[in-house]
Amino acid sequence: MGKYITKRVLIAIFTLLVILFVLFVMLDKMPGSPFNDEKLTADQLALLNAKYGLDQPFMIRFINYVKCVIKFDFGVSYNIQKNLAVSSMLATRLPISIQIGLQAMVVGTIIGMLLGIIAALKRNTWIDTLCTGISVLGVSVPSYVIALGLAYFVGFKLGWFPILYNASKPFISTIMPTMALSLSPIANIARFTRSEMIEVLNSDYVLLAQSKGIKQYKLIINHVLRNTLISIITVMGPLLVGLLTGSMVIEKIFSIPGLGYLMVQAIQNNDYNVVMACAFIYSFLYIFVMLIVDILYGIIDPRIRVAKEGE
């Protein structure tokens, strides 16, 4: 187990380094300069480049960058909020994104599992068809279509929730984004829970428990649900990662001052440091979640560990 975890962690760290390098190369070659002011003369530009260390050779700049990233120092913003440290921008933006992401995940898991369990227990009835229908819709309709629909009908027509993020009502403002984001986890988890439950319900040990005359609710709670839960944990990682992509668009629609919206702004303003920091944070979250999932897989199901070691 120790060997397995070490290997996973090493791969994760290496991947992060590769990402940093790629980000650095790409942003280095990007058109546009952080100093887009036409009034600047060549001398002033040279001075600015020297001030921000942009005149150093490539590798030195890269090593400096990695050193700073480890200290969580992403430099200062060039354009969006001039001279403000990127890390402090991230510190105010990241919690909102994480809050909405987690809310969506919790809501999605609970509703998704309920739908899946009901569908599996009432298999091949209209309830099952309804639950399956909801999950097919949720899998195939992009979250921002739902978000726009909610914004128009619930936010604008009914006026129940604010359309745009309102800093004085932080929780109320996150309800619609959470609803929009949670649809995909609901659908995926419902689908997975249903198929997993049905498989468990058809297994020999459930048949044995049934023949021993165990009560229905006890059977479901003690035997079926427990074994279903284990597999559900495994799909939650990729879903969390999927929420990252969704959040960028959702945050733009509802003007939420989160990480995704910051990245969109930074892209449009050529704010290198901010783009890099956002991309790095996204990658870090992604790799971290995948690492946790991989390790959890290994702990939960030894077969996977053995198979991966033997790869």
Partner 1 sequence: MSANERLDAKGYGTYEFASDDFTFAYDENEKIIYKSYTASSYLADVLHAFLKNKGAVIGFIVIVIIAILALVGPMMNEHTYKSIIIEHASLVPRVPFLENFGIFDGVYKGSNQYLDKGFTDIYYWFGSDPQGRDIWTRVWEGTRISLIIAFTAVCIDIFIGMIYGLISGYFGGKVDMVMQRFAEILNGIPTLVVVTLLGLILPRGVTSIIFALMITGWIGMSRIARAQVLKLKEQEFILASKTLGAQHFRIIFKDILPNIFGQIIIMSMFSIPNAIFTEAFLSFVGLGVPAPMASLGSLISEGYKSLTTYPHVIVAPIVVLALLMLSFNLFADGLRDAFDPKMKQM
Output the six-digit token pair for 29.
């070659």
3-class DSSP assignment, residue 76: strand
Tell me the site size for partner 1, rule CB under 8 A. 47
For partner 1, the binding residue among 5, 45, 48, 139 (CB under 8 A) is 139
Of residues 30 and 46, the one with the C-beta less far from partner 1: 30
For partner 1, the binding residue among 4, 74, 254, 286 (CB under 8 A) is 286
Q: Does 308 bind partner 1 (CB under 8 A)?
A: no
> Minimum distance from CB of 126 to partner 1 (Å)?
15
Q: Does 105 bind partner 1 (CB under 8 A)?
A: no
Q: Which residue, chain included where needed, has tokens 């609710």?
A: 217
From the list 9-17, 44-52, 69-77, 207-215, the region that binds partner 1 by CB under 8 A is: 9-17
Number of Cβ within a 10 Å radius of residue 167:
8
Q: Are 54 and 61 in contact (CB under 8 A)?
A: yes
Output the six-digit token pair for 243.
């929420």
User: Exposed/middle/buried for 65, CB within 10 Å: 0-12, 13-18, 19+?
Assistant: buried
Torsion of CA 36, 39, 42, 43, to 10 degrees: -120
For partner 1, the binding residue among 244, 274, 277, 293 (CB under 8 A) is 244
Map 86-125 to HEC letters.
Answer: HHHHHHHHHHHHHHHHHHHHHHHHHHHHHHHHHHHHCCCC
> Minimum distance from CB of 7 to partner 1 (Å)?
11
x-or-dash pattern for partner 1, window 141-160, by CB under 8 A?
A: xx-xx--xx-xx---x----
Q: Which residue, chain included where needed, has tokens 């956002």?
A: 278
Site residues (vs partner 1, CB under 8 A): 11-12, 14-15, 18-19, 22-23, 26-27, 29-31, 136-137, 139-142, 144-145, 148-149, 151-152, 156, 163, 195, 241, 244-245, 248-249, 252-253, 263-264, 267-268, 275, 279, 282-283, 286-287, 290, 311
